[in-house]
Amino acid sequence: MKRRKMYAFTLSLLIVALLFPSPSFAASPSEMKLFKNPVVGDGADPWVVKHSDGYYYYMQTTGNNLTIRKSKTLTGLDHAEKKVVWTPEPGSENSGNVWAPELHYLDGKWYIYFAAGDGDMGKQRMYVLQSEGSDPLGKYSYPKGTKLGKISDPSDKWAIDGTVLEYKNKRYFLWSGWEGDENVSQQIYIAPMKNPWTISGKRVELSRPELPWEKNGTPLINEGPQILKNKQGDVFIVYSASGSWTDDYCLGMLKLTGKDPLKAGDWSKNPEPVFKSSPADNIYGPGHNSFVKSPDGKEDWIVYHAAKFKGAGWNRNVRMQKFTWNADGTPNFGTPVPADTLLRAPSGEDGGKLVPALPGKVYSYEAEDGVVNHATIVNNSGASGGSKVGMIDYNDSYVEFKVAAPPGDYTLKVRYSNGMGETSTHQLALNGKALGEVQYTSYGWDTWRDAERDIHLNAGENKIRLSKGALFAEVDRIDLVPKKTKVFQYEAELGYLKNAKVVNEYDAANHQKVGAMSAHKSSVRFPISVEKSGTYVMNIRYKQPEGNNAVQVLRVNGKKSLILYKGGVSDQWKETMVKVRLKKGKNDISFSKSRGAVELDYFTLQQKH
């Protein structure tokens, strides 16, 4: 996929969206908390459950043990407290390929369901552990009467991805398995449960790969069944389809339309995937998910894994986004949001109501455009300019950037990836002077994060060099953020919308925009705060999908004026400028429909002197 290059003096949040070193941040206590995906830098098969103690408990595939993370927030999963609660006995029948664990609270105990085998991929079966106390991070053991915790229906065929459905005071086990003893196709099965560790009847097939979007890759795959219920009590099974190693991995859905979950005919399959790849947004292979509520219980969130880049196969990370419900009671997951897009944190996490003021002027330089010595430029769709610099592995390896930003103090942000499992470094030099190390926390290869250093640039051209340090890291880009920025940017999609919707668009500043705003009484509102009263220059970045002149109503603290958006090429971003009078402290700015259709990307504010 062709990617847009980014150069110096760029006034765009396409850069700013990548500036922050952690997955979440809040600019001030009064501004809303934001985060960006991925929320876990390396991982697959995410499972998260919110318990009555106010904590989230998270698990994912590790391969050789069962690890639980404990976090007060969903955005904090990558940095959460972590504990290995079970390690298999070497050589046992469940000692290898420990996949897709799920933590369930049933009958006053915690149960962990997981797939495992003895290292032979054809011997995968489902197993369960039972907590010995009430602490999810406490001790676990095999339930009495089981052989190493094995849970199976009478057929005892290959099985993975087990989960539990509770419906009308009955309990059912669901999983993905083989019909016979050969790896031809994985189906979704259900069976009744006598207790949390015992299946009490024969399995029933609910779904097999049969539609074109379910049949990419060989063997054919239906897997990862997850239960979702709406407020009306309708039951859905959201499952993963096509090969997990392909770019076409996606989510399908079954709905219980009858009364008996054990009757295949009482389930109906959605004819199209409900969540799928979006090549235009550089998103591939979203699948194997779980569902969870926001901390205050008001929002529904889907947590899923996706490929880090096109063709990444099983190189995946974990992401999440809010979803809504359609009028007919079915879930609306929308389109996966591009990685690095700034999103509002789940409601109930710390944060205020003001729309954040983001740096409006950032100087950005791609690593592949610099001087690359004894290192390698690698094409990679997950990198900001479509390429990265790797193999900075030798004593004489370096990448050097010639920068032409104005003199002054800056925050240097190095966009890097590190999959070493521990901190790595590069040596930093400015105009030939050594400035010490830039440290890179490990989040996984091709999961991009930012490392920061403060630097001072001289007048004229400056040279910034990153050279081999301890261990290894890859470099995507550097960004220079002025310490004393005078231009602030406000993303349209972070405003409060009415009769309007957020739409992905990769060449928008934050990979998103507010859609055409052509609906009756559509509007977007921005409560913001400024440090000084006075006249400000507002630059608005917009498109007109219909190509004609359009008009919007601009309200600033209740004072009304009109904005004329001149027509032109309908798929090109344009800018228009107006002047607004703001007071010190909180201000309320809104855009609403008057005539025609307008798509909004962002606006900037700079005080006029």
Secondary structure (3-state) at 181: coil
Max Cα–Cα distance, the chain, nearest Å: 80
- Active-site option among 42, 93, 161, 223: 223
- Active-site option among 31, 45, 368, 476: 45
* Per-residue buried b or exposed e for 77-115, using 16+ beta carbons within 10 Å of the residue's own CB: bbebeeeebbebeeeebbbbbbbbbbbbbeeeebbbbbb
* Rounded CA separation 573/11 (Å): 13
User: Would you give the end-to-end CA distance of the chain in angstroms?
Assistant: 44
Quickly list H helices, 248-326. Answer: none
Q: Is the dihedral of CA 491, 494, 496, 498 positive or negative?
A: positive
Q: Which amino acid is at 252?
A: G
Name residue, tokens 């009756």: 520
Q: Supply the DSSP symbol for 263.
A: -
Is 262:172 a contact under the CB 8 Å cutoff?
yes
Strand 363-366 to 474-482 pairing: antiparallel
Q: Supply the DSSP symbol for 13.
A: H
Reported as half-sphere exposure (CB side, CA atoms, 13 A), residue 290 has a value of: 25
Q: Supply the DSSP symbol for 16.
A: H
Task: Write the DSSP string, 220-260.
Answer: B-EEEEEEEE-TT--EEEEEEES-TTSTT-EEEEEEE-SS-
**Among this protein's residues, is 507 annotated catalytic?**
no
Secondary structure (3-state) at 199: strand
How far are the Cα atoms of 251, 274, 338 from residue 277, in angstroms, in the given order? 10, 10, 10
Sequence-separated (6 or more) residues with CB below 8 Å from residue 503: 512, 513, 514, 515, 599
Q: Supply the DSSP symbol for 501.
A: -
SS (H, E, C) 359-401: ECCEEEEEHHHCEEECCEEEECCCCCCCEEEECCCCCCCEEEE
Q: Which amino acid is at 497?
A: L
Q: Which amino acid is at 604?
A: T
**Among this protein's residues, is 223 annotated catalytic?**
yes
* Rounded CA separation 87/98 (Å): 10
How far are the Cα atoms of 438, 506, 539 from residue 517, in angstroms, in the given order? 44, 19, 18
Sequence-separated (6 or more) residues with CB below 8 Å from residue 280: 504, 506
The catalytic site residues sit at 45, 223
